């Protein structure tokens, strides 16, 4: 459905008939560290409030929680108003589970629970257009400006500007992590310390030596292969992770902010009312 008729005599490009560039890429290409705020809630107003704070991206999640594609598209649209990327963590499944996130114009997909090199290669086939992968083309959705983009340009820009982020969350995939980082279709590696510690049998021990070792390795191989290195990292640990090589950090989440805000208000009132 994408435009492909090159016989048109109208060469004028309208202001919005262009493919939006990733803000994360713009930031990291300048040698800076990009930031993410995570939306556990599905309300578009929360996404817009976060985008107003001007992180480089908001993180939406279908792996855990009730988010659907319509809500994801609305949250992504809210972020784009303020030139903020949206990253959608998908629910693992069939081919369509991956491409729909891109077609509602999320800037990136976070793929959880990568198990092996062969698993990663299948994701590459699903999420990148030829010649890198085997993703099928439509172009009649939000990401293709509803057929307003030229097909060749759309395919090229989608491969370059739409991020596929591979989550490294288990010890079983660590031996393959360098080979995964070398793949052309991998834009970033995301170290997930929570699930990594869980599968090690030390849940929540983010500073366990084996967790620290894996965290360092993911950053090292990502940056060695000119890929983005991502992980959760708030103000208390951010400098340490940046020193390791991480250049994309999730620095907070709506549920944490709301929980802390509500609890602090109630505690303050109880002091007054005691």
Q: What's residue 12's pLDDT?
A: 59
Per-residue pLDDT of 220-232, as tens digits, reads 999 999 999 999 9
Residue 38 within a domain: yes
Q: What's residue 11's pLDDT?
A: 54
Number of domains comprising the chain: 1
Residue 116 exposed, middle or buried by CB count within 10 Å (0-12, 13-18, 19+): middle
Residue 13 within a domain: no
CATH (domain of 203): 3.20.20.60
Q: Which residues of the chain have a pLDDT value below 70?
A: 1-17
Pairing outcome for strands 57-61 and 85-89: parallel
Residue 9 within a domain: no
Q: What's residue 14's pLDDT?
A: 63
Q: What's residue 56's pLDDT?
A: 98
Residue 7 within a domain: no
Residue 178 within a domain: yes
Residue 234 contacts residue 251 (beta carbons within 8 Å): yes
Query: Which candidate, 1, 25, 26, places its Cα nearest to that of 144?
Result: 1
Residue 67 contacts residue 100 (beta carbons within 8 Å): no
Residue 11 within a domain: no
Contacts 24+ apart (CB under 8 A), 68-74: 68/42, 69/100, 69/101, 69/104, 71/42, 71/44, 72/101, 72/104, 72/106, 73/104, 73/105, 73/142, 74/44, 74/47
The residue range of the domain holding 161 is 23-273
Residue 10 within a domain: no
Query: Which candidate, 129, 91, 132, places its Cα nearest to that of 111?
Result: 91
Q: What's residue 1's pLDDT?
A: 46
């Amino acid at each position: 459905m994408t435009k492909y008729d090159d016989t048109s005599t109208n060469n004028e490009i309208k202001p919005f008939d262009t493919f939006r560039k990733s803000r994360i890429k713009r930031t990291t290409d300048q040698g800076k560290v990009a930031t993410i705020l995570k939306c556990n809630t599905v309300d578009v107003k929360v996404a817009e409030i976060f985008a107003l704070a001007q992180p480089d991206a908001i993180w939406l999640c279908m792996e855990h929680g009730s988010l659907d594609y319509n809500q994801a598209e609305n949250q992504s649209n809210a972020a784009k108003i303020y030139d903020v990327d949206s990253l959608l963590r998908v629910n693992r499944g069939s081919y369509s589970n991956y491409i729909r996130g891109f077609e509602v114009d999320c800037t990136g997909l976070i793929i959880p629970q990568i198990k092996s090199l062969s698993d990663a290669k299948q994701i590459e086939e699903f999420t990148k257009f030829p010649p890198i992968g085997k993703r099928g083309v439509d172009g009649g959705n939000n990401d293709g400006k509803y057929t307003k983009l030229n097909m060749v340009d759309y395919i090229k820009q989608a491969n370059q500007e739409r991020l596929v982020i591979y989550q490294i969350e288990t010890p079983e995939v660590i031996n393959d992590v360098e080979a995964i980082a070398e793949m052309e279709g991998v834009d970033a590696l995301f170290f997930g310390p929570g699930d990594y510690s869980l599968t090690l049998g030390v849940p929540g021990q983010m500073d366990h030596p084996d967790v620290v070792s894996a965290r360092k390795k993911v950053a090292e191989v990502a940056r060695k292969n000119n890929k983005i290195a991502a992980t959760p990292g708030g103000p208390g640990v951010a400098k340490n992770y940046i020193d390791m090589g991480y250049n994309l950090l999730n620095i907070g989440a709506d549920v944490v902010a709301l929980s802390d805000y509500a609890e602090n208000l109630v505690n303050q009132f109880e002091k007054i009312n005691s």
